[in-house]
Amino acid sequence: MASAPDSPLGEYIRRQRELQELSLRQLADLVGISNPYLSQIERGLREPSEKVLDAIARSLELSAEGLYEQGGRRRGEENDAETPAVVAAIRADRSLTARQRQALLEVYDAFTGRSSQRRRSER
């Protein structure tokens, strides 16, 4: 059975963990999640919640925003039930870099008016 391709976010977390010479178990303990769950995140099999990403960022002494960018998303994004198919497809396309995904999402938001709708709803 072929394994899922590594996600840019998972690969980035793994590289940062290794640069800090932390084992998978050590980082999982610091974050407060299970070793298998962290392994699945690093391999791109699981998508971590905002809370888990924040905890990983704190534990690795990284910017949480940097982790979000690596994952091709922004803090506080709408839940999957409200996510248009185009946005989900852009986020899922791992042949794009995080910067390319972000640019496409910004263009899509500008064309559809989603960015102004979000700003109004955040007031």
- For the chain, the DSSP string reads -PPPPPPHHHHHHHHHHHHTT--HHHHHHHHTS-HHHHHHHHTTSS---HHHHHHHHHHTT--HHHHHHHTT--TTPPPGGG--HHHHHHHH-TTS-HHHHHHHHHHHHHHHTHHHHHHHHH-
pLDDT of residue 106: 82
CB 27 within 8 A of CB 17: yes
Distance of CA 87 to the CA centre of its chain: 14
The region, left, alpha or beta by phi > 0 then psi within -120 to 50, assigned to residue 44 is: left
Q: Could you report the per-residue pLDDT of 54-88, keeping only the tens digit for each?
A: 899 999 988 888 787 776 666 655 445 566 788 77
**Mean pLDDT (whole number) for 26-46:** 92
At residue 90, does pLDDT exceed 90?
Answer: no
> Is the CATH code 3.30.70.930 the one for domain 8-70?
no
Cα distance between residue 39 and residue 116, in whole Å: 38
Please state, in angstroms and as integers, the Cα–Cα distance from residue 110 to each residue in 15, 44, 74, 77, following that order: 34, 29, 16, 16
More confident residue, 33 or 44: 33
More confident residue, 19 or 95: 19
Least confident interval from 26-35, 67-76, 107-116: 67-76
Residue spans of the domains in the chain: they are: 8-70, 80-122
At residue 1, does pLDDT exceed 70?
Answer: no
Q: What percent of the chain has pLDDT over 90?
A: 28
pLDDT of residue 6: 56
Q: What percent of the chain has pLDDT over 70?
A: 76
pTM: 0.57
